Amino acid sequence: MDPFAHLPHLQGKLTPADESALRVTVEVLAEWDQRARNLGRPVDWRLSNQAIEASRRAVLGALDAQQDCWVFSYGSLMWDPGFHFVEVRLAELPGHQRRFTFKTDIGRGSTQHPGLMLSLTPSEGSCRGLAFRIAAQAADAETAIIWRREMVRGSYSPRYLSVTTPQGDITALVFATNPGFRDHVGELPIDQTAAMIAQASGMLGTNREYLEQLATQLGRLEIEDAYLSSLLQRVQAIVAD
């Protein structure tokens, strides 16, 4: 099956896994550690490899070698998944919304100017994004890649949730908000959110670039998100001043 059979216009619009700087292998994680040290960060700037793997096993258990794994994406995974997949679909997760709810002072921010990153917060509405299917034989290796990226600092609460797609309902791995995360700040006033995003930059790039890439991909998928549209307008106005 062509991975882009349902969304042919996405062909060439996603960063291939083997070209992604966010395909977080053990070697890439070691490079991040070195960069963190160069910035003067303590050894425990992130979770240990053992803690990351323990988190993955706690959620996924012993993966069924016969069962594919679906992953719901709503942020950077939508244009740079960093893992190999065999199918992608439009997807909608009920009861959640995108919001910038936790600070980052290393990835796309600094200690002087922390940035903000997305998570999924409970909502009466729903969040539209993409769902990627990882083949069963690759699921163990590819979910390890995802975990090193998404759970490097324990920012999220990963879980399996029901997701709707035009081709039928699925159960997908979702990285939802973790209110217990030490840098969780919840939903801030939108002007404060925009001001932080406009000036933040870290070892993975600027916070503004992240927001702009997300807006571009949502536009490509014809997904409307009033919160993000309003936020982007405010950020662009700040930068233009």
Name residue 212's amino acid.
E
Check which CATH number belongs to the domain holding 191 and give it.
3.10.490.10
Q: What is the pLDDT of residue 75?
A: 97
49 in any annotated domain: yes
Taking only the tens place, the pLDDT of each residue in 173-209 is 999 999 999 999 999 999 999 999 999 999 999 999 9
Q: Give the rounded distance of the alpha carbon of 86 from its chain centre.
A: 19
Give domain status of residue 64, yes or no. Answer: yes
Torsion of Cα atoms, 81 then 87 then 93 then 97, to 10°: 20
Residue 202 phi/psi, 5° resolution? -145, -165
46 lies in which domain range?
8-240
**2 domain residue, yes or no:** no
* 206-232 per-position pLDDT tens digit: 999 999 999 999 999 999 999 999 999
Closest CA to 70 of 119, 13, 135: 135
Cα→Cα distances 161→83, 114, 116, 171, Å: 20, 31, 25, 5
What is the distance, to the nearest Å, from the Cα of residue 224 to the centroid of all Cα atoms in its chain?
18
- Comparing CA positions, the residue from 187, 205, 209 lying closest to residue 102 is 187
52 versus 241: which is more confidently predicted?
52
| Percent of the chain's residues with pLDDT above 90 | 97
In a domain, 151, yes or no: yes
* For residues 161-172, average pLDDT: 97
Rounded-to-integer distance, Cα 170 and Cα 160, Å = 10
* Residue 92: inside a domain: yes
Average pLDDT over residues 83-89: 98
User: In the predicted model, is pLDDT for residue 101 greater than 80?
Assistant: yes
Residue 83 forms part of a structural domain: yes
> Residue 241 pLDDT more than 90?
no
Look at residue 1 and tell me if it is in a domain.
no
**pLDDT of 123 higher than 80:** yes
38-75 pLDDT, tens digit each: 999 999 999 999 999 999 999 998 788 789 999 999 99
Question: Using N-to-C axis directions, what is the helix angle for 136-150 and 26-38, rounded to 10°?
Answer: 10
Q: Report the predicted TM-score, pTM, of the whole model to 2 decimal places.
A: 0.96
On whether residue 3 sits in a domain, the answer given is no
User: Structurally, how many domains does the chain consist of?
Assistant: 1
